[in-house]
Amino acid sequence: MKKCEYCGKEISYHEIYCCDDCQTGANKFYDVRDSISTVIGIINGISVMSIGIGFFVFSFFREVGAFMVAIPMVILGILFLLFPIPADVMIQKYKIQKSVKITRIIAMILLVVGIIATALAIFTI
């Protein structure tokens, strides 16, 4: 059986969504994703590059490197907690609702790790 693209319930092969609420939710999700995807992509790219550079700098200057790793983690955690935009592959596999939940869980983990790393960086100086 085919599954609803929004909630994942089983539907017939002639439908895309199981109800009007799912269609409305999916349309709203895709509208928001299309309007902010460029900004999120830029922030995501800068943060990930900063984390990579921070790991390199950490080997020479521990305090600076720790902040260069921890602060972007917090930024990414907050960003994906507020705007959970999963990848298209994830949406195809888990559908929209479950993908958003998984993205938020990953964002909370990233936020907690970033906060802990920031606290450790502050208290070790």
Q: What is the pLDDT of residues 26-79, one digit of tens each?
A: 999 999 999 999 999 999 999 999 999 999 998 898 888 888 899 999 999 999
Entry pTM: 0.87
H or E element, residue 11: strand 10-11
Is 79 contained in some domain?
yes
Q: What is the mean pLDDT of residues 88-112?
A: 95
Is 105 contained in some domain?
yes
Report the Cα 111 to chain-centroid distance in Å. 11
Query: What torsion, rounded to 10 degrees, do the Cα atoms 34, 38, 43, 44 define?
Result: 70
Is 4 contained in some domain?
no
Is 52 contained in some domain?
yes
pLDDT of residue 113: 93
Residue 11 pairs in a beta bridge with 2
Whole-angstrom distance, CA of residue 56 vs CA of residue 74: 19
Helices and strands in the chain: count of H runs, count of E runs: 3, 2
Is 1 contained in some domain?
no
pLDDT band at 14 (very low <50, low <70, confident <90, very high): confident
Mean pLDDT of the chain, nearest integer: 92
pLDDT of residue 125: 61
Is 92 contained in some domain?
yes
pLDDT surpasses 90 at 120: no
Is 45 contained in some domain?
yes
The length of the chain is 125
Domain range enclosing 46 = 38-123
| Total tally of structural domains belonging to the chain | 1
Is 96 contained in some domain?
yes
pLDDT of residue 101: 96
Whole-angstrom distance, CA of residue 54 vs CA of residue 66: 7
pLDDT of residue 2: 87
